[in-house]
A and B are shown apart, each in its own frame.
Chain A
Amino acid sequence: MADPQKDTLQPNMERDPMIKKLRSMYDEVADEPLPSKLLDLLDQLDRAERNR
Protein backbone atom coordinates (compact mmCIF):
# COMPACT_ATOMS: atom_id res chain seq x y z
CA MET A 1 0.00 0.00 0.00
CA ALA A 2 1.33 3.43 -0.82
CA ASP A 3 2.42 5.30 2.22
CA PRO A 4 2.89 8.91 1.23
CA GLN A 5 5.42 10.77 3.25
CA LYS A 6 5.69 14.44 3.82
CA ASP A 7 7.30 16.30 0.93
CA THR A 8 7.15 13.26 -1.30
CA LEU A 9 4.81 14.76 -3.84
CA GLN A 10 4.29 18.32 -4.88
CA PRO A 11 0.70 19.47 -4.43
CA ASN A 12 0.08 19.63 -8.19
CA MET A 13 1.14 15.99 -8.47
CA GLU A 14 -1.30 14.90 -5.78
CA ARG A 15 -4.14 16.33 -7.88
CA ASP A 16 -2.86 14.92 -11.16
CA PRO A 17 -5.41 12.38 -12.49
CA MET A 18 -2.58 10.33 -14.01
CA ILE A 19 -0.89 10.00 -10.64
CA LYS A 20 -4.21 9.06 -9.07
CA LYS A 21 -4.65 6.37 -11.68
CA LEU A 22 -1.10 5.10 -11.14
CA ARG A 23 -1.59 4.98 -7.41
CA SER A 24 -4.89 3.20 -7.81
CA MET A 25 -3.21 0.47 -9.93
CA TYR A 26 -0.46 0.17 -7.35
CA ASP A 27 -2.75 0.10 -4.33
CA GLU A 28 -4.93 -2.55 -5.89
CA VAL A 29 -1.97 -4.97 -5.75
CA ALA A 30 -0.56 -3.68 -2.47
CA ASP A 31 -3.91 -4.27 -0.77
CA GLU A 32 -4.16 -7.86 -1.97
CA PRO A 33 -3.20 -10.59 0.49
CA LEU A 34 0.26 -11.93 -0.33
CA PRO A 35 0.08 -15.10 -2.44
CA SER A 36 0.20 -18.24 -0.29
CA LYS A 37 3.06 -19.50 -2.49
CA LEU A 38 5.22 -16.60 -1.28
CA LEU A 39 4.27 -17.04 2.37
CA ASP A 40 4.82 -20.81 2.21
CA LEU A 41 8.26 -20.22 0.78
CA LEU A 42 9.04 -17.79 3.57
CA ASP A 43 7.83 -20.35 6.15
CA GLN A 44 10.11 -22.97 4.64
CA LEU A 45 13.09 -20.62 4.81
CA ASP A 46 12.21 -19.73 8.38
CA ARG A 47 11.85 -23.36 9.44
CA ALA A 48 15.10 -24.33 7.75
CA GLU A 49 16.90 -21.60 9.64
CA ARG A 50 15.39 -22.50 13.02
CA ASN A 51 16.23 -26.19 12.53
CA ARG A 52 19.82 -25.48 11.59
Chain B
Amino acid sequence: MSDAFRDELVEGLRSLRAFARTFHRDQARAEDLAQETMLKAWAKRDQFKPGTNMRAWLFTILRNTYLSEIRKTKREVEDVDGSIVAGLAEKPSQDGHMAMLDFRDALEQLPDEQREALILIGASGFTYDEAAEIVGVAPGTIKSRVSRARQRLSELLGEDGSGADAALSDTETSMLVDRAAQAF
Protein backbone atom coordinates (compact mmCIF):
# COMPACT_ATOMS: atom_id res chain seq x y z
CA MET B 1 0.00 0.00 0.00
CA SER B 2 1.47 3.39 -0.86
CA ASP B 3 2.01 5.84 1.97
CA ALA B 4 -0.31 8.33 0.25
CA PHE B 5 -3.10 5.76 0.03
CA ARG B 6 -2.59 4.80 3.66
CA ASP B 7 -2.67 8.42 4.82
CA GLU B 8 -5.85 9.12 2.87
CA LEU B 9 -7.41 5.92 4.14
CA VAL B 10 -6.64 6.81 7.76
CA GLU B 11 -8.14 10.27 7.27
CA GLY B 12 -11.21 8.82 5.58
CA LEU B 13 -11.66 6.32 8.40
CA ARG B 14 -12.37 9.17 10.82
CA SER B 15 -15.40 10.20 8.78
CA LEU B 16 -16.38 6.61 8.20
CA ARG B 17 -16.45 5.79 11.93
CA ALA B 18 -18.34 8.97 12.68
CA PHE B 19 -20.93 8.11 10.05
CA ALA B 20 -21.29 4.49 11.19
CA ARG B 21 -21.66 5.45 14.86
CA THR B 22 -24.15 8.20 14.11
CA PHE B 23 -26.16 5.94 11.81
CA HIS B 24 -26.09 2.80 14.01
CA ARG B 25 -27.41 2.70 17.52
CA ASP B 26 -25.34 -0.43 18.13
CA GLN B 27 -21.91 1.12 18.57
CA ALA B 28 -20.02 -2.20 18.56
CA ARG B 29 -21.64 -3.08 15.24
CA ALA B 30 -20.79 0.36 13.92
CA GLU B 31 -17.13 -0.19 14.77
CA ASP B 32 -17.23 -3.62 13.08
CA LEU B 33 -18.76 -2.02 10.00
CA ALA B 34 -15.99 0.58 9.85
CA GLN B 35 -13.35 -2.13 10.23
CA GLU B 36 -14.94 -4.32 7.59
CA THR B 37 -15.04 -1.35 5.23
CA MET B 38 -11.36 -0.65 5.85
CA LEU B 39 -10.47 -4.27 5.04
CA LYS B 40 -12.50 -4.17 1.84
CA ALA B 41 -10.99 -0.84 0.83
CA TRP B 42 -7.53 -2.28 1.34
CA ALA B 43 -8.41 -5.34 -0.74
CA LYS B 44 -9.76 -3.09 -3.52
CA ARG B 45 -6.99 -0.48 -3.29
CA ASP B 46 -5.96 -1.07 -6.90
CA GLN B 47 -9.40 0.16 -7.95
CA PHE B 48 -9.00 3.51 -6.22
CA LYS B 49 -7.98 6.28 -8.60
CA PRO B 50 -5.54 8.70 -6.93
CA GLY B 51 -6.87 12.22 -6.97
CA THR B 52 -10.49 11.13 -6.74
CA ASN B 53 -12.65 11.43 -3.63
CA MET B 54 -11.42 8.84 -1.11
CA ARG B 55 -14.19 9.65 1.38
CA ALA B 56 -16.92 9.10 -1.20
CA TRP B 57 -15.24 5.86 -2.28
CA LEU B 58 -15.07 4.60 1.32
CA PHE B 59 -18.69 5.56 2.00
CA THR B 60 -19.81 3.63 -1.07
CA ILE B 61 -17.99 0.53 0.19
CA LEU B 62 -19.47 0.99 3.66
CA ARG B 63 -22.96 1.32 2.22
CA ASN B 64 -22.62 -1.84 0.12
CA THR B 65 -21.25 -3.71 3.13
CA TYR B 66 -24.17 -2.57 5.27
CA LEU B 67 -26.74 -3.54 2.63
CA SER B 68 -25.19 -7.00 2.17
CA GLU B 69 -25.36 -7.50 5.90
CA ILE B 70 -29.02 -6.48 6.01
CA ARG B 71 -29.88 -8.84 3.16
CA LYS B 72 -27.99 -11.70 4.83
CA THR B 73 -29.70 -11.11 8.18
CA LYS B 74 -33.09 -10.93 6.53
CA ARG B 75 -32.49 -14.21 4.69
CA GLU B 76 -31.39 -15.94 7.90
CA VAL B 77 -34.38 -14.72 9.87
CA GLU B 78 -36.78 -15.57 7.05
CA ASP B 79 -35.48 -19.12 7.16
CA VAL B 80 -36.58 -19.39 10.76
CA ASP B 81 -39.84 -17.49 10.75
CA GLY B 82 -41.11 -15.08 8.14
CA SER B 83 -43.31 -13.31 10.62
CA ILE B 84 -40.28 -12.08 12.56
CA VAL B 85 -38.99 -10.31 9.47
CA ALA B 86 -42.35 -8.66 9.01
CA GLY B 87 -42.13 -7.37 12.56
CA LEU B 88 -38.61 -6.08 12.09
CA ALA B 89 -39.55 -4.33 8.90
CA GLU B 90 -42.56 -2.67 10.44
CA LYS B 91 -42.13 1.08 10.65
CA PRO B 92 -43.29 3.08 13.61
CA SER B 93 -46.72 4.63 13.26
CA GLN B 94 -46.72 7.82 11.25
CA ASP B 95 -50.00 8.92 12.76
CA GLY B 96 -50.45 11.40 15.53
CA HIS B 97 -47.93 13.06 17.70
CA MET B 98 -45.55 10.64 19.36
CA ALA B 99 -44.25 11.00 22.87
CA MET B 100 -41.28 13.28 23.00
CA LEU B 101 -38.05 11.49 22.31
CA ASP B 102 -34.46 12.41 22.79
CA PHE B 103 -32.42 13.16 19.72
CA ARG B 104 -30.73 9.76 19.49
CA ASP B 105 -34.06 7.93 19.77
CA ALA B 106 -35.68 10.21 17.22
CA LEU B 107 -32.83 9.69 14.77
CA GLU B 108 -33.24 5.95 15.16
CA GLN B 109 -36.93 6.22 14.24
CA LEU B 110 -36.15 7.57 10.79
CA PRO B 111 -36.22 5.16 7.85
CA ASP B 112 -32.65 4.10 6.96
CA GLU B 113 -32.60 6.00 3.67
CA GLN B 114 -33.69 9.25 5.32
CA ARG B 115 -31.24 8.89 8.21
CA GLU B 116 -28.48 8.09 5.73
CA ALA B 117 -29.21 11.15 3.58
CA LEU B 118 -29.46 13.44 6.59
CA ILE B 119 -26.10 12.33 8.01
CA LEU B 120 -24.33 12.44 4.64
CA ILE B 121 -25.49 16.01 4.01
CA GLY B 122 -25.97 17.43 7.47
CA ALA B 123 -22.96 15.95 9.22
CA SER B 124 -20.49 14.36 6.79
CA GLY B 125 -20.44 17.48 4.66
CA PHE B 126 -21.03 15.84 1.29
CA THR B 127 -22.67 17.87 -1.43
CA TYR B 128 -26.03 16.69 -2.74
CA ASP B 129 -24.30 15.47 -5.91
CA GLU B 130 -21.70 13.50 -3.97
CA ALA B 131 -24.30 11.97 -1.67
CA ALA B 132 -26.41 11.05 -4.70
CA GLU B 133 -23.46 9.27 -6.26
CA ILE B 134 -22.72 7.36 -3.06
CA VAL B 135 -26.33 6.26 -2.65
CA GLY B 136 -26.95 5.72 -6.37
CA VAL B 137 -29.97 8.00 -6.71
CA ALA B 138 -30.66 11.44 -8.21
CA PRO B 139 -29.62 14.56 -6.24
CA GLY B 140 -33.30 15.53 -6.03
CA THR B 141 -34.05 12.28 -4.23
CA ILE B 142 -31.38 13.07 -1.64
CA LYS B 143 -32.87 16.55 -1.19
CA SER B 144 -36.35 15.19 -0.61
CA ARG B 145 -35.06 12.51 1.80
CA VAL B 146 -33.19 15.15 3.81
CA SER B 147 -36.28 17.32 3.84
CA ARG B 148 -38.53 14.51 5.02
CA ALA B 149 -35.97 13.45 7.63
CA ARG B 150 -35.88 16.96 9.10
CA GLN B 151 -39.62 17.21 9.09
CA ARG B 152 -40.04 13.86 10.80
CA LEU B 153 -37.34 14.64 13.37
CA SER B 154 -39.07 17.89 14.16
CA GLU B 155 -42.34 15.97 14.74
CA LEU B 156 -40.65 13.36 16.91
CA LEU B 157 -38.83 15.88 19.04
CA GLY B 158 -41.92 17.87 19.81
CA GLU B 159 -43.21 21.11 18.47
CA ASP B 160 -41.08 23.11 20.84
CA GLY B 161 -37.99 21.34 19.55
CA SER B 162 -37.25 19.75 22.90
CA GLY B 163 -34.28 17.48 22.55
CA ALA B 164 -32.94 19.66 19.78
CA ASP B 165 -32.68 22.86 21.84
CA ALA B 166 -35.13 24.85 19.70
CA ALA B 167 -37.75 24.34 17.04
CA LEU B 168 -37.58 25.23 13.39
CA SER B 169 -39.14 28.59 12.71
CA ASP B 170 -42.65 28.57 11.24
CA THR B 171 -41.21 29.75 7.95
CA GLU B 172 -38.64 26.94 7.87
CA THR B 173 -41.22 24.33 8.82
CA SER B 174 -43.58 25.62 6.18
CA MET B 175 -40.78 25.52 3.57
CA LEU B 176 -39.97 21.93 4.52
CA VAL B 177 -43.58 20.84 4.32
CA ASP B 178 -43.92 22.49 0.90
CA ARG B 179 -40.76 20.85 -0.33
CA ALA B 180 -41.79 17.42 0.95
CA ALA B 181 -45.18 17.82 -0.71
CA GLN B 182 -43.51 18.71 -4.01
CA ALA B 183 -41.40 15.57 -3.81
CA PHE B 184 -44.50 13.43 -4.26
* A residues apposed to B, CB below 8 Å: 1-5, 7-9, 12-13, 16-23, 25-32, 34-35, 37-39, 41-42, 45-46, 49
Contacts and interface: CB of A to CB of B under 8 A. Distances in A.
A25 B22 contact: yes
B6 A29 contact: no
B61 interface: no
Contacts of A8: 121, 125-128
B17 interface: yes
Interface in B87-107: 103-104, 107
Contact of A26 (B10, B18, B175): B18
B164 A21 contact: yes
Is chain A's interface secondary structure helix, strand, loop, or mixed overall? helix
Interface residues of B, number: 44
A42 B18 contact: no
Contact of B125 (A4, A25, A35): A4
Given A29-B17, A34-B13, A2 B22 contact: no
Contact of B121 (A9, A20, A37, A38): A9
29 contacts: A2-B18, A2-B123, A3-B125, A8-B125, A8-B126, A12-B172, A13-B122, A13-B146, A13-B150, A17-B165, A18-B153, A18-B154, A18-B164, A19-B122, A22-B103, A22-B118, A22-B123, A25-B104, A26-B22, A27-B18, A28-B18, A29-B21, A29-B22, A30-B15, A35-B31, A37-B35, A38-B34, A41-B39, A46-B6
7 nearest A-B residue pairs (beta carbon): A26-B123, A30-B18, A29-B18, A17-B165, A18-B164, A4-B125, A19-B122
Interface in B2-33: 6, 9-10, 13-15, 17-19, 21-22, 31
A28 to B, nearest CB: 8
A31 B18 CA distance: 9
